[in-house]
């Protein structure tokens, strides 16, 4: 298989973000030109559910619906019912591949942890009810996220931007989760992330950009540069180059890296696998 035949999967990209307003269609074209076969678009709050769904349908991409812990205060008192209603309405949509982005964030100060856990638990119950995997946000909260998954009986999905310990990674694998690696892995000082990327079982690994966030090392700008208007925007077309870092850490060819990470994405998100199969030419 030649390099041009490689097919990549970006398992986490916020294509609806305002940073893409000026050239969103061009961003998707660049991703396609870079052989990014699929991109998964997670919602973060009910107000953007329809925009995310419409984008997915416009470009044949997978999407997920859920309330992100950082946006729980923007979601409003009827937010959980809105998630329930949207999942019920779109349950037969082949592009709806997961519940997400959901989880816990114990890193950002001032967030109500009890409310986060209440909302997360309720959304896990919905994931189980609708037999969907989950796209998980977890900062400084991996153990609590795992506890809620076990309690809810939810198995399968992706722990986005994983940055836990080797023991926590193993606990994720026991719950049939895959672990997302992206731009952070490209920084030589990210020793823990790079060690995990190099040493975890190959079936654990999926690739992501989290675009427009978490730019890789070659796009990074200092705080001073960002203050001067020099901020860097990540995008899905960067995924193949990010993947080369994973390949270098593990001693893999690009062909093997693409095959393994795509297979893992398909296993983590079964409806995405069906979507990818349906898009293949006869």
Q: Compute the distance between CA of residue 116 and CA of residue 282 in angstroms, rounded to an integer.
A: 46
CA 233 from chain center: how many Å?
A: 17
Q: Is 112 annotated as a binding residue?
A: no
- What is the enclosing helix (H) or strand (E) of 192? helix 191-199
Q: Is 256 annotated as a binding residue?
A: no
Cβ density class 250-265: b for 16+ within 10 Å, e for less: bebebeebbebbbebb
Q: Is 101 annotated as a binding residue?
A: yes
Do residues 267 and 273 lie in contact, with contact meaning Cβ atoms separated by under 8 Å?
yes
Do residues 173 and 140 lie in contact, with contact meaning Cβ atoms separated by under 8 Å?
no
Q: Is 57 annotated as a binding residue?
A: no
Residue 98 dihedral angles phi and psi, to the nearest 5°: -165, 170
Q: Is 68 annotated as a binding residue?
A: no
Q: Is 225 annotated as a binding residue?
A: no
Q: Give the residue numbers of the binding site.
A: 12, 14, 101, 137, 160, 210
Q: Give the residue numbers of the binding site for a divalent metal cation.
A: 12, 14, 101, 137, 160, 210
């Amino acid at each position: 298989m030649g390099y041009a035949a490689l097919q990549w999967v970006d398992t986490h990209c916020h294509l609806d973000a305002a940073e893409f307003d000026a050239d969103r269609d061009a961003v998707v074209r660049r991703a396609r030109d870079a052989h990014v076969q699929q991109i998964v678009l997670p919602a973060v709050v009910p107000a953007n559910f329809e925009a995310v769904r419409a984008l997915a349908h416009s470009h044949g991409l997978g999407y997920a619906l859920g309330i992100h812990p950082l946006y729980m205060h923007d979601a409003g008192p009827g937010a959980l019912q809105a998630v329930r209603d949207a999942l019920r309405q779109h349950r037969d949509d082949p592009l709806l591949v997961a519940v997400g982005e959901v989880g816990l964030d114990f890193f950002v100060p001032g967030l109500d942890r009890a409310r986060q856990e209440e909302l997360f638990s309720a959304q896990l119950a919905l994931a189980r009810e609708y037999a969907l995997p989950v796209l998980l946000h977890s900062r400084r909260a991996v153990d609590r996220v795992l506890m809620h998954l076990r309690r809810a009986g939810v198995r399968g999905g992706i722990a986005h931007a994983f940055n836990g310990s080797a023991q926590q990674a193993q606990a994720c694998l026991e719950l049939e989760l895959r672990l997302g690696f992206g731009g952070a892995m490209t920084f030589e000082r990210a020793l823990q992330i790079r060690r995990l990327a190099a040493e975890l079982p190959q079936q654990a690994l999926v690739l992501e950009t989290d675009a427009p966030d978490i730019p890789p090392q070659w796009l990074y700008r200092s705080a001073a540069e960002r203050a001067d208007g020099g901020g860097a925007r990540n995008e899905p077309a960067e995924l193949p180059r990010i993947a080369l870092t994973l390949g270098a850490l593990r001693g893999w060819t690009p062909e093997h890296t693409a095959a393994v990470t795509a297979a893992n994405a398909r296993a983590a998100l079964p409806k995405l696998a069906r979507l990818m199969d349906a898009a293949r030419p006869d």
